[in-house]
Structures are given as C-alpha cells and as structure tokens.
C-alpha cells in the first residue's frame, strides 16, 4: 500500500538492514514534450495508466506536470509504486510506454541526488536531471533535521 503507515511498518521491519534493503517506494517519471505530438500520446498513456491501476493499492498515478518541475528537465508524468510492484512496473513500462518517451525509475530515500543519478534506471534516452537542485534539497533536509522517513514521505508525491 502507498500509505505512510505501510512505509513505517516496512521500515520498522527492516531496522538494522542495509539501506538498499529498506527501500519501499519508487518513482517513475515518464518525460514528454508538452508542445509536440507526444502530448496526445501522453494523455492517452495517462488515461491507460489510471485505468490499469485504479484498484491497485501499491500504485499511484499522479497528475501530468506540464513543464519542468524541481530537478526534472521537462514535462513528465509521475507514477509512485511500492517495492511489491517493482518488477511488474518495470515490465509494464517496457511494454506499454512507447520507446519515444524517456522514463526515469528511481528509489525514494533521503539521498535525492543518488536516487536520481547513480541508483536510477532509464528506459529510453537518458535525460539530464538537475544535480545542483538535488544537492540543495538534500542539504535543506539535513539542515532541518528531517528523518529519512519524513524525507521519503515529503517527496513521495511531489
């Protein structure tokens, strides 16, 4: 489930484990050109994703971002999913998302820079995220003294 309670319960059950074992949430960002023919394709894909996952408690299909937001270089559709759906979602995106789209899949941890760069998976052409912004986000989280769980929850649906 994509609830904070599910996140907390999983992280409690993995206390003491290495960081990569404790990952619970993932994001997929499917990038598109909002000014070109990809916009119509993205609208259709968004509708298909909403329909395909409307009853899946481990997947959230978020709204379309019509432009570059945060560290992301262009418009995108964000999909949140849990580790329980990781393999399925990678397979789904491989076979249902046109290869003309670039898709970034990353885990959600307290290390936003690492999540979006060294621990990221790309389907299609790799785009450049904004590392300076990710570093700034990581620094601000540390300065605020946020726990890893608080950071994860804050970015789970940005």
- The tens digit of pLDDT for each residue in 37-90 reads 999 999 999 999 999 999 999 999 999 999 999 899 999 999 999 999 999 999
Q: How many domains does the chain have?
A: 1
Give the global pTM.
0.93
Structure tokens at 79: 């999909």
Under 8 Å CB-to-CB from 156, ≥6 apart: which residues?
A: 2, 7, 25, 27, 80, 108
pLDDT digits (tens, 9 = 90+) for 17-28: 988 888 999 999
Residues 80/26, Cβ–Cβ less than 8 Å: yes
Q: Does residue 36 belong to any structural domain of this protein? A: yes
Overall average pLDDT of the 120-132 stretch = 95
Print the domain residue range for 47: 22-155
CATH of the domain at 66: 3.30.70.1240
Residue 11, CA distances (Å) to 16, 18, 84, 114, 156 in order? 10, 11, 14, 19, 15
Beta bridge partners of 28: 79, 105
Strands 76-82 and 59-65, bridge-based pairing: antiparallel
Other beta carbons less than 10 A from residue 129's beta carbon: 21
Q: Classify residue 9: in a domain, yes or no.
A: no
**124 within domain boundaries:** yes
- In a domain? residue 85: yes
Mean pLDDT (the chain, rounded): 93
Would 148 be classed as within a structural domain? yes
**Is residue 70 included in any domain, yes or no?**
yes
Is 8 a member of any domain? no
Decide if 134 is inside a domain. yes
């Amino acid at each position: 489930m994509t609830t904070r309670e599910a996140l907390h319960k999983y992280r409690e059950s993995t206390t003491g484990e290495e960081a990569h074992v404790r990952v619970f949430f993932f994001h997929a960002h499917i990038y598109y050109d909002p000014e070109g023919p990809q916009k119509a394709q993205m609208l259709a894909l968004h509708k298909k994703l909403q329909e395909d996952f409307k009853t899946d408690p481990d997947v959230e299909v978020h709204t379309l971002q019509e432009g570059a937001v945060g560290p992301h270089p262009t418009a995108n559709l964000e999909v949140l999913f849990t580790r329980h759906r990781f393999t399925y979602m990678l397979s789904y995106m491989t076979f249902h998302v046109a290869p003309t789209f670039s898709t970034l899949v990353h885990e959600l941890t307290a290390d936003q820079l690492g999540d979006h760069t060294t621990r990221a998976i790309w389907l299609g052409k790799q785009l450049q995220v904004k590392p300076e912004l990710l570093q700034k986000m990581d620094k601000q989280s540390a300065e605020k003294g946020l726990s890893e769980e608080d950071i994860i929850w804050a970015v789970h649906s940005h």
